[in-house]
Amino acid sequence: MAGAALALTGSLAAIAAAAHAAAADDAATIKAALVKRLPKTEITTIDCDKIEGVCEVQARQNLFYIDRSARYLIIGRVYDMETKQDLTAARLLEMNPDMLVGAGGAGEQEDAAEPTLARQADAGGTQPLPRIDPAALAALPSSGSVVMGKGGRTLTVFSDFRCGYCKRLHETLATLDVKVVERPISVLGTRPISEAVICASDKRRAVNEAYDGGAITSGRRCDTSGLDANEAFARKHGFTGTPVIVRDDGAVLHGFRPREFLETWLKEKVS
């Protein structure tokens, strides 16, 4: 009896080892395919063990999924319906808590973020924030941007059109009295989308179409070197995820922030 149990244990261990080896092989194949198809995307890790049928891909501070054939790229959230857990949110929180301020469901989001945001607001902006030279930001070519709003303060946003938090930030900023200079960068292989937006006759409409995932009304070629400048600037200043918000005095925020936080942040005096 004991011998049979040991044999069964050994068999299970062998099966588990084989499955892990297969997952490792899949990850290697997928990485090779992604390097070829998304050459500008820096792949950090690929995990084919966590979720049956798909592999989780971490690209710096971004997360997406791909099937084991490396054909279908999946951008969005994965929910475990048995445990009722948002696996994507949990993983993103593990990767970088600061980029998930308010990352729960729509209703839970504000509640979860409020205590932290209140503490930050009460601090009166005394927490040290990274800064960049406003002159360097202003030197970026206008051809790589889309300008929206006419408010007194100006925010420059480095974004990716397939980034869910970028879309939410775009919608939030539209409710504020602020001028937004959106500068697309390609994190998830979205350069063709960015080019279509920049070349569109109605760039503001094209931005909304891009975030909604629809067809972009464009159809013409134009100078897209401004997008190259955006990406070079992002790399130089260590913008490893999206969105990145830069205030007109050079103060930088990495990640999405709710309206209440942004209103307080915008009221800070330019130093």
The answer to whether residues 202 and 155 belong to one domain is yes
> Would you place residue 23 in the very low, low, confident or very high pLDDT band (cuts 50, 70, 90)?
low
87 in a structural domain: yes
Record the tokens describing residue 81, joined without a space: 């319906």
Residue 8 has pLDDT above 80, yes or no: no
pLDDT per position as a tens digit, 102-160: 333 333 333 333 223 323 333 333 334 568 999 999 999 999 999 999 888 999 999 99
CA–CA separation, 257 and 169 (whole Å):
7
Residue 24 has pLDDT above 50, yes or no: yes
Q: Which residue has the higher pLDDT, 214 or 211?
A: 211
CATH number for the domain that contains residue 43? 3.10.450
> Would you place residue 169 in the very low, low, confident or very high pLDDT band (cuts 50, 70, 90)?
very high
The answer to whether residues 49 and 131 belong to one domain is no
The answer to whether residues 91 and 186 belong to one domain is no
Q: Which residue has the higher pLDDT, 246 or 50?
A: 246
Average of per-residue pLDDT values in the chain: 78
Which pLDDT belongs to residue 112? 31
Read off the pLDDT of each residue in 200-224 and give the average, rounded to a whole number: 86
Give the structural domain span for 263.
117-267
The answer to whether residues 76 and 134 belong to one domain is no
Model pTM score? 0.58
Domain end marker among 46, 65, 95: 95
Which pLDDT belongs to residue 240? 73
Which pLDDT belongs to residue 96? 63
Nearest to 151 by CA among 3, 228, 263: 263
Which pLDDT belongs to residue 56? 94
Residue 13 has pLDDT above 60, yes or no: no
Which pLDDT belongs to residue 113? 30
Which pLDDT belongs to residue 221? 83
The answer to whether residues 151 and 253 belong to one domain is yes
The answer to whether residues 85 and 14 belong to one domain is yes
105 in a structural domain: no
110 in a structural domain: no
Which pLDDT belongs to residue 99? 43
38 in a structural domain: yes
Read off the pLDDT of each residue in 208-225 and give the average, rounded to a whole number: 84
CATH number for the domain that contains residue 182? 3.40.30.10
The answer to whether residues 152 and 249 belong to one domain is yes
The answer to whether residues 165 and 247 belong to one domain is yes
The answer to whether residues 133 and 245 belong to one domain is yes
The answer to whether residues 31 and 85 belong to one domain is yes
CA-based max dimension of the chain: 80
The answer to whether residues 249 and 123 belong to one domain is yes
The answer to whether residues 133 and 206 belong to one domain is yes
Q: Which residue has the higher pLDDT, 217 or 198?
A: 198
Which pLDDT belongs to residue 25? 72
CA–CA separation, 263 and 244 (whole Å):
16
DSSP notation for 114-163:
HHHHHHHHHTTT-S---B--HHHHHTS-GGG-EEE---SEEEEEEE-TT-
Which pLDDT belongs to residue 205? 93
CA–CA separation, 192 and 214 (whole Å):
13
The number of distinct structural domains making up the chain is 2
Number of neighbouring beta carbons within 10 Å of residue 231: 20
100 in a structural domain: no
63 in a structural domain: yes
Read off the pLDDT of each residue in 198-203 and give the average, rounded to a whole number: 92
CA–CA separation, 132 and 140 (whole Å):
13
